[in-house]
Structure 1
């Protein structure tokens, strides 16, 4: 009897050890600088930024070797013929096989005119409020935005108006547009603000996101919208996640913003990021809302925003990417 109890305890301890090891694999122990230290580092750097073509070329090369963004960033007829199995990158053991219903929805191949020149990746951080960055953003050759942000008149001076590619998480379709089960008009009308660019949806990241994404596609197609739907390739998202995990970003999933920065680094000759600031206090020590349009906080366990910002700031200091965190109309004090 004692032997059985002893073995039972050993089994419990062994199981606990395995769980702990798995936890440290996913979330390794390391020291991230304190928020205050990161802010001080940004202030120390100030508005100084110098483009480093060698660094830009290096990151484009690294991203091409690991993730092939030019060919793989979207699901296309070229990289996903009928019968191709798309394994969901956001969950295990689920996949979608490209069939006669899915295949016609795909673009033929990469529709973007490459190489893209100056690109602006616009996050939704509250740091954009009163930044006066709208004109700078609109002067970019290609503008990428995250998760269907509002571009109404009250925000134009800070975030601009032009959009060439905007992401849309299926959860937005579910929460904001009731999964498009009752009416599609509100969705179609609200998409007009993004002009004639592309909507980029991770339709094959989570099984629950596939149907809402397909409904969004048909809602736009049936209304003769000027927007073109692109489905994010789960293989691209998976490899980009591994790329940043190897560089110190440990989270269940990268933020949409970092995915877009990665895409831009692979496709653009020069990239500037706006609205990336995961801290509650700005450079002037004043409170900063989470988004420029609201202060709804994300699930703290899902993304690792401070870790992502540290990586972006490393790229900024090396000249491979410019991160704007201050007023664009000012000559200094914020990058």
Structure 2
């Protein structure tokens, strides 16, 4: 995942993009949304609600399509009556990834200046506010990579308390894929119960991703020659493009060196070596870069001023 594996012209092209003036393509964004509609990837179906789901209904897991799960009465009670995104659009959004390119970026103020802020996979904010900001409106929670690795599958009271303390730094919505992998349902339910019942996170509401929407978005991107499972980051970018007039990306950079060939950490907030092999982040980034060129979204690769 070294940027030195890329040719000098490619590096120069990305560096030039970081400084080139950018113009939003409103018509292009509308066309993109129409294409999503054609693949049943409408923002209307993003989450499970009491309007689009019934107790006793069976749903397919997004990553185990041959397996079915029941919408129990408990799960049904987790769901909002209707989607909070069905009737809203935001003028300007920030989508914040976790790349080490954010270190010393001083992008916090720019990120927080948006009307709606998406954050991926419950990142650390405390201590990094100058570079990544402090506000949040929708934060994703990947139960496989986060709950399993950082919170010991939520097995003990200590794990739960540690998790709740982390959540207290976030506001808005906590999006989680309850029906991602069948093997993850049991500990994902522990998380859902905890978030739904806790009185210590009054500013955060649980929303459960619709597995059919994830599959629809996956199918859409396969038409764009992305054959591997899409990352949470690309999924959230897709959601932002559905909801926002202007989408700004920060912390999306899959390489271990920046544009000046200085070494980077994979995440700005930990020492993780690299991504899951199930994703092709370089291909995803190349796709986002083309969308940046076309004015559909704006990628920030340099320091913010």
TM-score by length of 2: 0.91
Q: 1:130 aligns with which of 91, 96, 104?
A: 104
Mapping of 1:153-168 within 5 angstroms? 153=127, 155-168=128-141
Equivalent residue in structure 2 for 1:85, among 39, 42, 58:
58
* Change in 2 beyond 3 A, CA 1:92/1:64: closer
Q: Residues 67, 161 of structure 1: CA spacing in aligned structure 2 closer, same or farther, 3 A cutoff?
A: farther
**Quick check: 1:270 aligned with 2:241?**
no
Q: Which of residues 39, 42, 57 in structure 1 aligns to 2:30?
A: 57
Corresponding residue number in structure 1 for 2:215: 238
> Is the CA contact (8 Å cut-off) linking 1:69 and 1:267 kept in structure 2?
no
The answer to whether structure 1 residue 279 and structure 2 residue 252 are counterparts is no
Which deviates more, 118-127 or 72-81? 72-81
**8 A contact 1:70–1:110 mirrored in 2:** no
After TM superposition, the structure 1 = structure 2 runs for residues 139-218 of structure 1, keeping only pairs within 5 Å, are 139-153=113-127, 155-171=128-144, 172-183=146-157, 184-195=160-171, 197-218=172-193
CA distance in 2, matches of 1:260, 1:232: 11
CA distance in 2 between counterparts of 1:97 and 1:264 reads 29
Shift of 1:176: 1.5
Instruction: Name the SS for the 2:94 alignment partner.
Output: strand
Change (3 A) 1:158 1:269: same
* Higher alpha-carbon deviation: 155-164 or 224-233: 224-233
The 5 Å alignment of 1:277-316 reads 277-299=253-275, 301-316=277-292
Match of 1:109 in 2: 82
How far does residue 50 in structure 1 lie from its aligned partner after superposition?
A: 1.1
Which whole-Å CA distance do the structure 1 matches of 2:185 and 2:213 have between them?
17
- Residue aligned with 2:39, SS: helix
CA distance in structure 2 between the partners assigned to 1:69 and 1:215 by the alignment: 29
Match of 2:16 in 1: 44
Q: CA deviation at 1:134?
A: 0.4
Contact 2:41 2:217 in 1 (8 A): no
Which stretch shows the higher mean deviation, 105-114 or 278-287?
A: 105-114
Q: Tell me, which stretches of 5 or more residues in structure 1 are unaligned?
A: 1-33, 330-335
What is the CA distance between 1:221 and its match in structure 2? 2.8
1:321 aligns with 2:304: no
State the 1:46 CA deviation: 3.6
**After alignment, is 281-290 or 253-262 more displaced?**
281-290
Larger Rg: 1
Q: Structure 2, unaligned stretches of length 5 or more?
A: none
Q: Distance in 1 between matches of 2:40 and 2:19?
A: 32
Cα pair 2:18 2:300 within 8 Å, conserved: no
The two structures, once aligned, show a CA RMSD in angstroms of: 1.7
For 1:20, the equivalent position in structure 2 comes to none
